[in-house]
């Protein structure tokens, strides 16, 4: 398709919404959900990128751990998009809109070891989960149905976050990525801890 400069944008106030909400309220909830749709789409693409780029001793365990997460997060994105449509608004799921709308950076790690990627994914999940909680808070009063959807997703995402963190945790309960502020930093910290463990073994 020829390149056009026009980018799809999320709609404002819908012409109709679910009974019991005003169109303005429906539009407000849909806008919050649009941000979550962007985050979930970004997350399942990122998880697949890691699935393809992970190398080293724990390759198969991490490669195979990630595919069920990709599938589940895709389902979550679908549920959020359909809730936006149910609210009378138009979900935007194009790659261009995703890049234009998101307020976080692209995943920054290419081919790397399993522990290094898991260190970076710890930060990725932490970011998505913090924002999902904020969305629960922001929609709770207006629309408990949306709140319920996001709450269930958060529980599932928190479990996946734990799957990631369990690889980074010591027997004393410390996380190797503690204090990391960027994916590159988290990758380095996770790798150093794993290297130190291998040397002392
Ligand atoms: Fe695959």
Q: How far is the CA of 12 from the centre of ligand 1 (A)?
A: 38
Residue 138: enclosing H or E segment and its boundaries? helix 114-140
DSSP state of 175: B
CA of 74 from ligand 1 middle (Å) equals 15
Ligand 1 centroid to Cα of residue 161, in Å, is: 20
DSSP string, 26-93: HHHHHHHHHHHHHHHHHHHHHHHHHHHHEESTTHHHHHHHHHHHHHHHHHHHHHHHHHHHHTTS----
pLDDT digit of tens for each residue in the chain (201 aa)?
556 556 677 778 999 999 999 999 999 999 999 999 999 999 999 999 999 999 999 999 999 999 999 999 999 999 999 999 999 999 999 999 999 999 999 999 999 999 999 999 999 999 999 999 999 999 999 999 999 999 999 999 999 999 999 999 988 889 998 888 889 999 999 888 877 666 655
Looking at residue 10, what is its pLDDT?
A: 74
- Separation of CA 2 and ligand 1 centre (Å): 31
Q: How far is the CA of 69 from the centre of ligand 1 (A)?
A: 12
Distance (angstroms) between ligand 1 centre and the Cα of 15 equals: 42
DSSP bridge partners of 175: 169
**Orientation angle between helical segments 144-166 and 114-140, nearest 10 degrees:** 160
């Amino acid at each position: 398709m020829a390149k056009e400069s026009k980018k799809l944008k999320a709609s404002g106030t819908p012409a109709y919404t679910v009974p019991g909400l005003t169109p303005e309220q429906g539009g407000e909830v849909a806008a919050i959900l649009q941000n979550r749709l962007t985050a979930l789409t970004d997350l399942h693409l990122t998880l697949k990128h890691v699935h393809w780029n992970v190398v080293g001793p724990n390759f198969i365990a991490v490669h195979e751990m990630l595919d069920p997460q990709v599938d589940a997060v895709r389902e979550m994105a679908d549920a959020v998009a359909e809730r936006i449509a149910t609210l009378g608004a138009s979900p935007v799921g194009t790659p261009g809109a995703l890049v234009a709308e998101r307020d976080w950076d692209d995943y920054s790690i290419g081919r790397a070891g399993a522990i290094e990627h898991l260190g970076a994914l710890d930060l990725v999940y932490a970011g998505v989960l913090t924002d999902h909680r904020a969305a629960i808070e922001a929609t709770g009063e207006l629309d408990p149905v949306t709140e319920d959807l996001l709450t269930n997703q958060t529980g599932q995402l928190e479990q996946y976050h734990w799957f990631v963190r369990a690889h980074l945790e010591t027997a004393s309960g410390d996380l190797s990525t503690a204090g990391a502020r960027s994916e590159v930093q988290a990758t380095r910290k996770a790798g150093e801890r794993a290297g130190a463990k291998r040397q002392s073994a």
